[in-house]
Amino acid sequence: MTASHHYDVLILGSGTAGLTLALQLADHAKVAVLSKGQLEEGASLYAQGGISVVLDKADSLQSHIDDTVQAGAGLCKEETVRYTVEQARSTIEWLIEQGVSFTKDGTSSERYHLTQEGGHSHRRIIHAADSTGREVETTLLDKAKAHNNISLFPFHIGIDLITSQKQLNDMDNRCLGCYALDIKTNTTKTFTAPITVLATGGAGKVYLYTSNPDVSTGDGIAMGWRAGCHVANMEFVQFHPTCLFHPKAKSFLISEALRGEGAKLVLADGTPFMEKYHSQAELAPRDIVARAIDHEMKRLGDDCVYLDISHQSKEFIEEHFPTIHQRCLQFGIDMTREAIPVVPAAHYTCGGLITDIEGQTDIAGLYAIGETAHTGLHGANRMASNSLLECLVFARSAADSIKKQLPLSSAEADIPEWDASLVERAREAISISHNWDELRRFMWDYVGIVRSNERLLRARQRLSLLQQEIKDYYSQYHITQDLLELRNLADIAELIITSALQRKESRGLHYTLDYPNTDTIKPPQDTVIIGKP
């Protein structure tokens, strides 16, 4: 028997975007927040750098807009960029009201310390030391736990959205909620709500090497696409230039803020190299830095390059980068005296479900916010520290949109229970594990930082075989978290490969050997894929 739950608003994802939305709505509606792991686990928790906002008198809103548009390589929606930048200051003030403690400038108890990161022409990154995401996430989660109108469901993963129409692109189609798997009890549940919000983050785990936590499997994007949502710009996957290179470090990120404070990228012999690739050197946009590192590694046959901030004092490093300093020490690296070994890794999904400025998708009653959504803010390349800002700004705009619809009423629909009567329990899970590894490896090898048509077609061929195996397994056996995530990652891989094949140029984060130049003749266009047939 499937358990049923009904709320005014159903939010999938408990990161910065999901929790901000829940808190904005909690005084007006009953809200459920589903998280497939522990409530605080997600990319937000590990965001080190900070949040971009214009606070310095020497800075300006227009400068922030211009920097974002330039980093986006011609594909940013300027009205979206302007809206986001204009909302940034009030968003930061709201966070401070919630109790978020940002690092103060040592010269004044009234001023906050601002740092500078790649693509920014001014210091405009407000931060909480080098663990901003953790400070924001834990503060918001404590607030959510204390609110009577917010029900939190850890270890619940969405299976599929429930919609009123089964034909894609039906104008009368509406989202009614979702089916979810309770991972702890291995039972399915039905969550219904007149408003459903996808805030499940990005899809970095589609690649073998990623800075993302294990939960970043593109669930919301895949679920929305299967339900009929249009998806845009999935070829633009941002590879963070500097993840710690160590066999036991897994996915630990070395913040771009180090480069903002003067850290240099060097080869094994100590030779700096970024000046050869861009006038901004270490502070060039991330796509340029990642490709430069990738090129140097392949040119020399080296496993990594190095990031050196040892010219700064021990006191400065321990004050500004305590988390990174301690983490490196755990692996025998003293960053106050030696360079840190680093490699690029998949970091951010710039594409996603197409939404308007209020987070509404093209299915009524379904919103998407944060990394799950494509708002047009990032274009072909996200500028550093605009990601948490996007989560916050669009969570608030979605909340304003939802509040206008109050009181909410459910659409009349006969929602069937989840039917598992024709499937059986799998005797072993080795095929899921094998397919998971194969998918992530061929995506890294063929659809990574540098691409070609030959590599993309090879990846598509292998993906087709793998998807058939997943479909057969899904139809025959009881669902598990691993199976659901593998199914979602395969859909994400299809979206990335299809989008990459459609773009006949190199732009921003998408670089292909077959079309190494940016098309300057035709106006730049988003790559749009309609809902899955």
Query: Cα–Cα distance between 175 and 165 in angstroms, integer?
Result: 9
Name the DSSP class of 510.
Answer: B
Q: Which of 461, 499, 467, 19 is nearest to 233 (CA)?
A: 499
Q: Distance of CA 360 to CAs 111, 395, 399, 527, Å?
A: 36, 11, 11, 19
Q: CA 290, 291, 292, 297 torsion: positive or negative?
A: positive
For 237, the 3-state DSSP assignment is: strand
Q: Which of 470, 477, 362 is nearest to 426 (CA)?
A: 477
Token pair in block for residue 462: 């292998």
Q: Amino acid identity of 401?
A: S
Residues 6+ apart with CB under 8 A from 494: 460, 463, 467
Q: Exposure string (b/e) for 287-302, b if CB count within 10 Å is 16 or more?
A: bbbbbbbbebbeeeee
Query: Cα–Cα distance between 466 and 357 in angstroms, integer?
Result: 36
Active-site entry in 259, 286, 451, 460: 286
Token pair in block for residue 84: 């986001």
> Does 462 qualify as catalytic in the annotation?
no
8 A C-beta contact, residue 75 and residue 235: no
Name the DSSP class of 234.
Answer: T
Active site residues: 286
